[in-house]
Amino acid sequence: MVNKMYKVTSEKMEKHGSKHNQVLMSIVICMPILAYGTAMGWISPNKALLMGDSSPSAKRLTEEDVSWMASIMFIFAPIAVFIYGAAADRFGRKNALLCATLPISLGWIVKLACTHPIALIAARALIGFGSGGGFVVCPLYVKEISEDSIRGMTGTFVIFSQTAGNLLVFILGDLLPFQTVLWILLAIPLIHFCILLRLPDTPSYLIKCGKNEETAKVLGWLRSLPHTDKSISEEVDRLVIEQNTCEPKFSPRLLFGDKTAVKAFWVALIVNLTREFCGCIAVLVYASHIFAEAGKDPHTSIALSPNKQSILLAAVQILGSFLACQLVDRTGRKPLLAVTSVVAGFSMCLLGVWFYLQSVGVFMPGWVPIMALCVCIFADASGLQPLPFVIMTEMFNFQLRGTVATLIMAISLGTDFALIKLFAPLNTWIGYHSTFWVFSFICLANVFYLIFCVPETKMRNLEDIYADLEGKKRRKKEDVVVETNHV
């Protein structure tokens, strides 16, 4: 099977290679995140139906049922992160991702078989469990099959897949019957499972298993080059050297025993937590109220149905994600992340101003909050959401990558659950305007943190990245200048 799949015959490909196989494989690998996006968005077009008189459920859902359906995914996902993180290092990225697809498929099967509130909540728990595995394995898988020149772009596929899933389910929910949508959403993880069976594991894991010859063939297929090509041999040698350091396993003790790795971990964690605390999740939660308030302005004609609102916001997200795919390897990680943090920060500030003026009886045009809302979500999708995943995988070697991804994703998913549950009480306590100003401050403060504390990871090896973290880069340059003058 290996020889059939990875054979390359084109002379042009032998000379120049191609990145097409890497891109296509990355898209397939991220299909569990696409399934997660459909699951997250599924409630929006179906909430009114499930709570209405014509509900497909024998018992109409209550607001409490819907609340549990929305939040239970974030309870089980952090638990799954630890299980799948350990499995990815022990059994391989491919096997772990195959196992992550199974509970997602089972969740949609349960929804098809029974629409009782308890069954729907249990189904979403299963999907959340599988999605948690996807979020820890997919970034690792994509990073390890992508060459340096495109790993930024392929790394953004994680969030791009999520936003594509949101848009897909909103459109399907608006056009097709309830049961038909469920069958289509079940097909996504099943198709992913069947395709992934035919795809190889990552070169890094194959080297770990001592399969050097198969590694060369896989790399040749991924790079669209003969496996005997010199560049393939050199890449295999680099992977062997990396593997000789130590076998990868889930080991927080090993991570925290290395001072430089600990610095890198805190940088990656803070960047990822800023993604959660930037407030864009809260903006999406509160979007319907913003649209409703904007529709009250007699000078505007903005009046969209809840599902049309969801489609609009998902379309804005997908545009932002597409822009991230195009720019991340051209601009670098830090500049794009900093610019999107600034844009999101000012958008949040404008939303806070709008809510404050509303509270004191001063009314701004209805298009202002809509514009701020869309700009904020666009900035989030084009930088704040995808880039932390890229940075997280680029700052650690194969040995620690699984441990770091497991810890950071568990903390991030737990933070999502806390934010969803605490958003309403926080607004009651300090008001919506103050809440959005807090989010704005976090986004703008993140810019300074990025400038002074976060190293650029684009097209750089770990030695250079860690030298930045340790403050050695400047000293090295000074040493070179001194030696040159001495000569």
- CB-CB contact of 57 with 109 (8 Å): no
**What local confidence, expressed as pLDDT, does residue 12 receive?**
40
Q: What is the pLDDT of residue 9?
A: 40
Report the alpha-carbon distance of residue 112 to residue 338 in Å, rounded.
Answer: 44
How many of the other CB atoms lie within 10 Å of CB of 116?
Answer: 15
Give 147-168 pLDDT, tens digit per residue: 888 888 888 888 889 889 988 9
Average pLDDT, the chain: 82
pLDDT band at 294; cut points 50, 70, 90: low
Give which of 262, 212, 254 is closest to 399, Cα–Cα. Answer: 254
Q: Residue 228 — φ and ψ, nearest 5°?
A: -90, 0
pLDDT at 475: 45
> What's the burial of 11, exposed, middle or buried (CB within 10 Å: 0-12/13-18/19+)?
exposed
pLDDT of residue 396: 86
Of the pLDDT bands very low, low, confident and very high (cuts 50, 70, 90), residue 306 is: low
Is the pLDDT at 213 greater than 70? The verdict is yes
Could you tell me what percent of the chain has a pLDDT over 90? 28
Q: How far is residue 187 from each of residues 31, 114, 183, measured CA to CA in Å?
A: 11, 18, 6
407-419 pLDDT tens trace: 888 888 788 777 7
Q: Give the tokens for residue 266.
A: 């805190």
The lowest-confidence range among 124-138, 159-173, 365-379 is: 365-379
| Residue positions counted in the chain | 487
Q: What is the pLDDT of residues 179-198, one digit of tens each?
A: 999 999 999 999 999 999 99
Give the torsion through C-alpha atoms of 251, 254, 258, 262, to 10 deg.
20
pLDDT band at 137; cut points 50, 70, 90: very high
Tell me the three state secondary structure of residue 227. Answer: coil
Confidence of residue 108 (pLDDT cuts 50, 70, 90): very high
Q: Extract the tokens encoding 305.
A: 């149905």
Amino acid identity for residue 91 in this structure: F
Q: Report the pLDDT value the prediction gives residue 103, as an integer from 0 to 100.
A: 96
Q: Under 8 Å CB-to-CB from 482, ≥6 apart: which residues?
A: none
Confidence band, pLDDT 50/70/90 cuts, at residue 405:
confident
Identity of the amino acid at 172: L
Q: What is the pLDDT of residue 296?
A: 65
User: Does the structure show a pLDDT above 70 at 357?
Assistant: yes
pLDDT at 151: 81
pLDDT digits (tens, 9 = 90+) for 245-285: 655 566 788 888 888 889 999 999 999 888 888 877 767 76
Tell me how far apart the alpha carbons of residues 376 and 344 are, in angstroms, rounded to a whole number: 5
Set out the domains of the chain in order of their start, with CATH numbers: 19-199 (1.20.1250.20), 252-474 (1.20.1250.20)
Highest mean pLDDT out of 40-44, 216-220, 472-476: 216-220
**How confident is the model at residue 299, as a pLDDT?**
57
Report the predicted TM-score, pTM, of the whole model to 2 decimal places.
0.77
- Report which DSSP code applies to 381: I
Residue 257: both structure tokens together: 């025993």
* Closest to 92 in 3D by CA, of 208, 229, 220: 208
pLDDT digits (tens, 9 = 90+) for 13-33: 444 668 889 999 999 999 999
Can you give the pLDDT at residue 168?
Answer: 92
Q: What is the mean pLDDT of residues 454-463?
A: 85
Handedness of CA 450, 156, 106, 100 (dihedral sign): negative
What value, to the nearest 5°, has the Cα angle with vertex 161 and ends 198 and 263?
Answer: 95
Q: How many CA atoms lie within 13 A of 426 on its CB side?
A: 16
Per-residue pLDDT reduced to its tens digit, 443-452: 999 999 999 9
- Cα–Cα distance between 119 and 57 in angstroms, integer? 10
**Looking at residue 13, what is its pLDDT?**
40
- Cα–Cα distance, 288 to 366 (Å, whole number): 13
Interacting residues of 266 by C-beta distance below 8 A, sequence separation 6+:
none
Tokens of 320: 């932002």
Q: What is the mean pLDDT of residues 99-121?
A: 93
How many other CB atoms are found less than 10 A from the CB of residue 254?
Answer: 15
Residue 164's SS3 state is helix
pLDDT at position 26, please? 93
